[in-house]
Structure 1
Amino acid sequence: MLIFLLRRLIQACFVMIIISVISFAIQGNLGDPIQQMVSVTASQDERNQLRESLGLNDNFINQYWRFAKKAVQGDLGTSFYYKKPVLEVIFQKVPATLELAFCAILLIIFVATPCGVLAAIKPKNPISRLIMIVSSIGLSVPIFIVAIFMVYFFSIEWNVAPSFGRGETTEILGLWESGLFTKDGLSHLLLPSLSLAIALMPIFIRLIRAEMMEVLQSEYIRFAWSKGLSTPRIYFIHALKNTMLPIITVGGIQAGTLVAYTILTETIFQWPGMGFLFMDAVSRVDTPLISAYLIVVGGMFVMTNTLVDLVYGLVNPTVRLASHGI
């Protein structure tokens, strides 16, 4: 395990270096940040002085080296628009995004798992067939279409839940604000989290069904039936547990995708999270904030994949993590 962790740490550092180079390199292709930082009446000399003071006239290698030296000390730059360290700006928005992703994951777990198991146990049941039809449609419909329809029906037509904002929040231990503990906050969470969950739910329903059907045909399940074990024990302990390995792998990848999907969801629902902040930074050509966002999200991907590999070994102790060669 120690060798595996060391390898993953080295790999993570290498991946983060690549991410930092790419995220820093695209800054020059996003437009001129000086245009967003000065008034339209500013002279060319004032613009040139500001460009020189920010080091924007240096070549790429010098700019990146200066950026990398500060990055290892936890300084990814200062936002051109907010005039604050970019990590401070991003971390103010992280709780809202994590809250949204957490609720979406809960919906996926408690809806996709029973639906997938039911579709595998009784594949010819009308409900099972309906589940598969709906999941097929869900795979084909883009997330922004789902979100727009939910806003139209649930918010405008039926007035079930609000369509924008985060609602009332409460402070947790003086560290962050959460809407999970207020009625207004939960009502604002309903539509964006459901929209986000619907985007990924069909994948997990079909994956659980496929893996479950394969496991149910295995010899040890037949042996469990012959021993007279109870049906719930066979289905939900012996069979479902052995479908978890591929689901954990795909789930780890999709967890990173979930963060990417929040950009569309937060934009449509005006949810004040990281995704909405990123779109705002792009529109303002706030290049330090854009670069820092990509690095933070890349770090989330790396950490998620490492945790997935660790959980993989815990679920199935016969897997030797150190022998994976990754």
Structure 2
Amino acid sequence: MLGYIIQRLLQAALVMLAMSALVFVGVYAIGNPIDVLISPDATQDIREAAIRHYGLDLPLWQQYLAFLGRLLRGDLGTSFVLNIPVTDLVFSRLPATLELALASVLIGAFIGIPLGVYAGYRPESPLSRGIMAFSVLGFSVPTFWIGLILILTFAVNLDWLPAGDRGPTVEVLGVGWSFLTWEGLQFLLLPALNLSLFKLAMMIRLSRAGTREVMLSDTVKFARAAGLSELTILRRHVLRLISIPLVTVFGLEFGSTLAFAVVTETIFSWPGVGKLIIDSITSLDRPVMVGYLVLVAFLFVTINLVVDLTYALLDPRLRRGGRAA
């Protein structure tokens, strides 16, 4: 198991190095932030002084090495526009996005998996057909349209829930969380529901397909022949056998939700990192853009690493394969 962990850690480090280079080169090849930061009426001397101040006069490879050195110390640089350390800026917004992403993925998992298992266990029932029709709707309807309909229905017409913002928070270990208050939960519900519909549909279809496959296998036939109840078969065999793909989707969807919650955060004015990256792109704030993308890459790599290690716990063959390698 130790060899398997070391192998995955080395792979994760190499992926992060490659991603940091791609992100840095890609962002720094787009536009010139001096055109946004400095007035068009500024003299050439002022422009050259600003270029030297931000280190933009150095060759790209030197800028990248300087960035890499700061990154190894946990420093993502300083925002060109706000003159605030990018680390502080991103991490001040990250709890809001983490809260929203986790709530949406949990909604998708805790509702989607039971519905998908039922649809796979009773595929011909009217309820199962309705569940699968709903999953098609979740895949097909654009997120921004669903968000607008939710706001129009529950915030404008019914006046049950707030239309935007995050609401009050409670600090735990210096971090503010809105789900710890009833009013904060009301602010969280609509954006989390909007963000969870695609994940809900995916969980339904994945768990249904896995359940159908397992229910037709010899494992279930032998379990029924041994006199086990249907509930025991579902709990001990079906859920266990479909757990690996579900763990994969849960991890990857959590990472993708953190990275791509931009639309939902914009519609509901949710003060997360998605809103931050939109503002930084508008102002060509390169350090914030690079810092955000590197952080997203790190989250994806970390989540994939956790998923791989979870695989090893669920399937001992992977541990043996890691030792053999």
Q: TM-score range by the shorter chain?
A: over 0.9
Cα deviation for residue 317 of structure 1 reads 3.0
* 1:178-202 C-alpha deviation (Å, 9 max, x unpaired): 1011122101100110011102111
2:144 pairs with 1:130 = no
> Which sits farther off after the overlay, 106-115 or 31-40?
31-40
Alpha-carbon distance in structure 2 between the residues aligned to 1:62 and 1:80: 19
SS in 2 for 1:171: strand
| Conserved? CA contact 1:313–1:321, under 8 Å | no
What count of residue pairs does the alignment treat as equivalent? 325
| Conserved? CA contact 2:100–2:191, under 8 Å | yes
Alpha-carbon distance in structure 1 between the residues aligned to 2:196 and 2:153: 17
Letter in 1 for 2:16: M
| Conserved? CA contact 2:105–2:250, under 8 Å | no
| Conserved? CA contact 1:162–1:187, under 8 Å | yes
| Conserved? CA contact 1:313–1:319, under 8 Å | yes
Letter in 2 for 1:137: L
| Cα distance change on mapping 1:129 and 1:299 into 2, 3 Å | same
Cα deviation for residue 82 of structure 1 reads 2.0
Alpha-carbon distance in structure 1 between the residues aligned to 2:324 and 2:266: 40
1:243 matched residue in structure 2: 242
Letter in 1 for 2:177: S
Alpha-carbon distance in structure 1 between the residues aligned to 2:261 and 2:323: 32
1:59 matched residue in structure 2: 59
| Structure-to-structure mapping, 1:29-178, within 5 angstroms | 29-39=29-39, 41-173=41-173, 175-178=174-177
| Conserved? CA contact 1:67–1:76, under 8 Å | yes
Alpha-carbon distance in structure 2 between the residues aligned to 1:300 and 1:114: 28
2:9 pairs with 1:18 = no
Q: Could you state the TM-score of these two structures normalised by the residue count of structure 2?
A: 0.95
| Conserved? CA contact 1:142–1:199, under 8 Å | no
Alpha-carbon distance in structure 2 between the residues aligned to 1:87 and 1:325: 40
Alpha-carbon distance in structure 2 between the residues aligned to 1:318 and 1:23: 36
> Which sits farther off after the overlay, 271-280 or 44-53?
44-53
Letter in 1 for 2:155: S
Cα deviation for residue 26 of structure 1 reads 2.2
Alpha-carbon distance in structure 2 between the residues aligned to 1:169 and 1:70: 32
Alpha-carbon distance in structure 1 between the residues aligned to 2:306 and 2:323: 15
| Cα distance change on mapping 1:274 and 1:325 into 2, 3 Å | farther
2:196 matched residue in structure 1: 197
Tell me how large the CA RMSD over aligned residues is.
Answer: 1.7
| Structure-to-structure mapping, 1:274-293, within 5 angstroms | 274-293=273-292
Cα deviation for residue 113 of structure 1 reads 1.1
| Structure-to-structure mapping, 1:182-221, within 5 angstroms | 182-221=181-220
Cα deviation for residue 230 of structure 1 reads 2.1
Letter in 2 for 1:8: R
Alpha-carbon distance in structure 1 between the residues aligned to 2:322 and 2:38: 56
| Cα distance change on mapping 1:160 and 1:325 into 2, 3 Å | farther
* 1:178-233 C-alpha deviation (Å, 9 max, x unpaired): 10111221011001100111021111100100001110111121121122222211
Cα deviation for residue 325 of structure 1 reads 8.8
| Conserved? CA contact 2:166–2:188, under 8 Å | yes
| Cα distance change on mapping 1:325 and 1:35 into 2, 3 Å | farther
| Cα distance change on mapping 1:325 and 1:203 into 2, 3 Å | farther
Alpha-carbon distance in structure 2 between the residues aligned to 1:102 and 1:252: 11
Structure 1: runs of 5+ lacking an equivalent:
none
Letter in 1 for 2:148: I
SS in 2 for 1:159: coil
> Which sits farther off after the overlay, 243-252 or 38-47?
38-47
* 1:162-184 C-alpha deviation (Å, 9 max, x unpaired): 121100111113x2001011122
Cα deviation for residue 41 of structure 1 reads 4.5
| Conserved? CA contact 1:309–1:321, under 8 Å | no
2:227 pairs with 1:225 = no
Letter in 2 for 1:219: D
Alpha-carbon distance in structure 2 between the residues aligned to 1:205 and 1:128: 10
| Structure-to-structure mapping, 1:255-294, within 5 angstroms | 255-294=254-293
| Conserved? CA contact 1:163–1:269, under 8 Å | yes
